[in-house]
Structure 1
């Protein structure tokens, strides 16, 4: 049963995040029919319906010492679960996976799971725990000579620093990750680093550099078929224009990004896009449209547990008053 669930979540992960680096799957049970998803919606829907069962499958696999399945389940589920905002389930699965990876000495799997857990800790504002996970993951990657894995850790270290407002330090880590990803020929990792560098440059007031980084990221995401990356790059480009008082340039980028983010189930990106669209409509003196967008963003932020972002949007709703368009 656990092996069947692993096959299912691996198939979903392959559709949702096709450029992710994943371990090989154990040999399939010939008596089981593998799951095949028609599209991203079907994959996301299955993960949503089965997420409690996926966690239980990981726990049962661990209890029955099927450690190779117990650590692989959270590795393959990590991306889809984080993208859809199922943080609690993902964290619980990662804890099981870490115990399984350590039981069989799978250092690479341990580093991958620590890296995934660090992302959840960063999103939750638990920065010290995130740093501890990343320090441990980086040590393992360097010990086993996994330079591709090291790129992912450096990128996550940069993301942690950016969440702390330490933009210049974040940029240093992202530049390291960019140089390594290019040396290794990892185009998807290169695009992620460029995306992150664009955000850093924007925060540091480097308008032209931010746009250059983000246009380069967008081009690679499209070449690689990374649809979620494309949505994030479009959002980041839009936010550069918004930051520098160019809502007219921002609006079409957000309108491109929203249906893409919805299609791949990236709820974090959806909430950010909706909030930015609300701000543009509010500035255009269209309070009814702005309120509808803000309310949708607020609901998503609340569901994701990002209460500070939800409070910000709630204040923007209240600032609109009660007038109509």
Structure 2
């Protein structure tokens, strides 16, 4: 233990618990099956025709390769087609539907394959210990998790084949349907993917869609308007919203006919046809409140936004924000991806960004962005205080405290909020750095660090820590820079970059001594000891960890003391001093329980089992391992649980064979999911029961 702010290692969920008392009896337990992933966005209303394309997608699943790319120009309805078809095809995929927006044509960089894989593996309940941010390993684990299942994967808005290759399923029962503005011919050549090219609606279908949306019957003017809109579903929906009366249609036709300006983001004449004038006509018809909300939402850095983040951005209540968002959805200017999350179509967002630059001052734009960042900071701070109550937390200003925070009822709710917002949070931090909002650019990553550790988000953890260090340095805040360097050192150490970790921790140690901050000095020393142990320099690590423990005791840092005592036990075992290791761990256990940190407590319990096993006291070892198993079940620490089950089974082989067999069988199942080489050792142990 001991990377950032006295926490190192990996975990998955963190909860609070009291002291465990009484005898512990561990037997085989049947876990509830994980929920089936249902990640599809809402289908479009009044979906029209596309019969030929739907039949082709049906054939891809029924008798084809299971892979297809739906391509076409912006606004032609690619996403609407695939999502609508996917909802109709749910019975063909009883094991779930996965969805990801790859942001291929977003104003922010496209989503990396490892980000998509991470979210898919979480949805599939696949343990990721040891594979995070290694695309090939994550892709292999993903294919293993899909093996034998029938799952549909929808990869929306892909920019290139490189984004899709790691997401391809390896089993014939699964299908992947991608959408892109590009044809992605390479996927057809190398993987046999079917190409489904989507064109603008035929005039008859366009008239049907327009009439359904506007309640206007077919007339020559309607036909002319549809022609001006290029028969694109997106422009038809927007035009229909503004065409409730015959006079509206005539006015819109005149607007479209007289306008020569086009959206600069368009790449082909077909895409440009009528897009800006249609959007302009719709925007000009908004109430002042809706128009302001529309343009300020363009300042949101991420791919979608929640009602609460939109409320902060706009500067209103969540209730009023929901009203505005739903109203903009009714105007076909926003898409509702879930009950409380909304996003722009790419082209509409481009127009909104033009409007916010033209209609809002730089001061107001910065104020809106800062409001949203303060909301994010407050929520991240709340998550941090729930996950690690004794960890040092970022200082909040009066303005931060005035921002309404999301009410997290428990740890699961806090983690779920972060899971939903992590892409937006990362984009927001980058935005803060670009706008010179240095306080937000270092505080949000630091407040988010414990979550990133818990969820194994190594890339986010490293990248956000780098931004935090730069922002703290730019602000001239040495205290913040010390903290950010510790975060960055932990991120490097977590992926085995021990030289880099040592450099960051050493820099933090020097800074902490310059500013006279004893707590940062202690944390930096502890983390340096951690890197020395990982490098196999045990005597040096022991001496340095003892120094850190003395400082932690003087500071009254219970959590830090528990970590250091447990680390001393780990080093003692490495030096073949099991009695000394047991003494350190017995001293650590009550301190960890007083600090209320279940993760540390489970580590200590397991290590007490290791020490007892080394001392050949197998009954005591089994008891300690059994307690560790119970805690690791509660925290959903699957790698730790697998190892504790293995050691518990090993300790029980001679005295409780039936229990040992059941325990080892469960350990084997988890280790195989983890692709842990220890699985072969467990198979060998189980052969003794045959």
TM-score category of the 2 structures, normalised to the smaller one? 0.7 to 0.9
Q: Over residues 114-173 of structure 1, what are the superposed CA-to-partner deviations in whole Å (9 max), with x where a residue is unaligned?
A: 212222222212111111111111111111111111111111111111112221111101
Instruction: Decide whether the 8 Å contact of 1:181 with 1:189 is kept in 2.
Output: yes
Q: Over residues 36-75 of structure 1, what are the superposed CA-to-partner deviations in whole Å (9 max), with x where a residue is unaligned?
A: 2111222222222222222122112212222111101111
**Pair 1:156 & 2:527 matched:** yes
What is the number of residues matched between the two proteins?
313
**In structure 1, what is the Cα distance between the partners aligned to 2:402 and 2:551?**
43
**Pair 1:281 & 2:659 matched:** no
Partner residue of 2:573 out of 191, 195, 202: 202
**2:398 counterpart SS class:** coil
Q: 1:263 to 1:72 in 2, by over 3 A?
A: farther
Larger Rg: 2
Give the gaps of 5 or more residues in structure 2.
1-371
Q: 1:163 to 1:226 in 2, by over 3 A?
A: same
Q: 1:230 to 1:295 in 2, by over 3 A?
A: same
**In structure 2, what is the Cα distance between the partners aligned to 1:77 and 1:223?**
24
Q: 1:51 to 1:243 in 2, by over 3 A?
A: farther
Q: 1:31 to 1:219 in 2, by over 3 A?
A: closer
Instruction: Decide whether the 8 Å contact of 1:52 with 1:89 is kept in 2.
Output: no
Q: 1:243 to 1:46 in 2, by over 3 A?
A: farther
**In structure 1, what is the Cα distance between the partners aligned to 2:475 and 2:672?**
43
Shift of residue 320, structure 1, vs aligned partner: 4.8
**Pair 1:20 & 2:391 matched:** yes
Partner residue of 1:315 out of 645, 664, 680: 680
Instruction: Decide whether the 8 Å contact of 1:40 with 1:264 is kept in 2.
Output: no
Instruction: Decide whether the 8 Å contact of 1:199 with 1:210 is kept in 2.
Output: yes
**In structure 2, what is the Cα distance between the partners aligned to 1:233 and 1:88?**
28
User: What residue is the counterpart of 2:379 in the other structure?
Assistant: 8
Partner residue of 2:494 out of 87, 99, 123: 123
**In structure 2, what is the Cα distance between the partners aligned to 1:202 and 1:323?**
28
Partner residue of 2:558 out of 163, 183, 187: 187
Alignment of 1:90-109 (within 5 A): 90-109=461-480
Q: 1:187 to 1:323 in 2, by over 3 A?
A: closer
Instruction: Decide whether the 8 Å contact of 1:275 with 1:294 is kept in 2.
Output: no
User: What residue is the counterpart of 1:177 in the other structure?
Assistant: 548
**1:19 counterpart SS class:** coil
Give the gaps of 5 or more residues in structure 1.
303-309
User: What residue is the counterpart of 1:296 in the other structure?
Assistant: 670
**In structure 2, what is the Cα distance between the partners aligned to 1:321 and 1:228?**
29
**In structure 2, what is the Cα distance between the partners aligned to 1:322 and 1:63?**
60
Instruction: Decide whether the 8 Å contact of 2:613 with 2:621 is kept in 1.
Output: yes
Once structures 1 and 2 are overlaid, which stretch shifts more, 90-99 or 172-181? 90-99
TM-score, structure 2 normalization: 0.43
More helix by percentage: 1
Q: Over residues 228-278 of structure 1, what are the superposed CA-to-partner deviations in whole Å (9 max), with x where a residue is unaligned?
A: 32222222222222344444323332332344345445x4xx413322312
More strand by percentage: 2
Q: CA RMSD in A?
A: 2.4
Runs of 4+ in 1 over 6 A off after TM superposition: 321-325
**2:467 counterpart SS class:** helix
**In structure 2, what is the Cα distance between the partners aligned to 1:3 and 1:128?**
35
**In structure 2, what is the Cα distance between the partners aligned to 1:111 and 1:291?**
46
**In structure 2, what is the Cα distance between the partners aligned to 1:11 and 1:262?**
24
**1:41 counterpart SS class:** helix
**In structure 1, what is the Cα distance between the partners aligned to 2:487 and 2:542?**
21
**2:565 counterpart SS class:** helix
**Pair 1:132 & 2:503 matched:** yes
**In structure 2, what is the Cα distance between the partners aligned to 1:272 and 1:150?**
30
Shift of residue 107, structure 1, vs aligned partner: 1.4
User: What residue is the counterpart of 1:307 in the other structure?
Assistant: none
Instruction: Decide whether the 8 Å contact of 1:115 with 1:133 is kept in 2.
Output: yes
**Pair 1:232 & 2:603 matched:** yes
Instruction: Decide whether the 8 Å contact of 1:117 with 1:133 is kept in 2.
Output: yes
TM-score, structure 1 normalization: 0.87
Instruction: Decide whether the 8 Å contact of 1:12 with 1:43 is kept in 2.
Output: yes
Once structures 1 and 2 are overlaid, which stretch shifts more, 279-288 or 31-40? 279-288
User: What residue is the counterpart of 2:280 in the other structure?
Assistant: none
User: What residue is the counterpart of 1:110 in the other structure?
Assistant: 481
Partner residue of 1:65 out of 430, 436, 439: 436
**In structure 1, what is the Cα distance between the partners aligned to 2:627 and 2:499?**
36
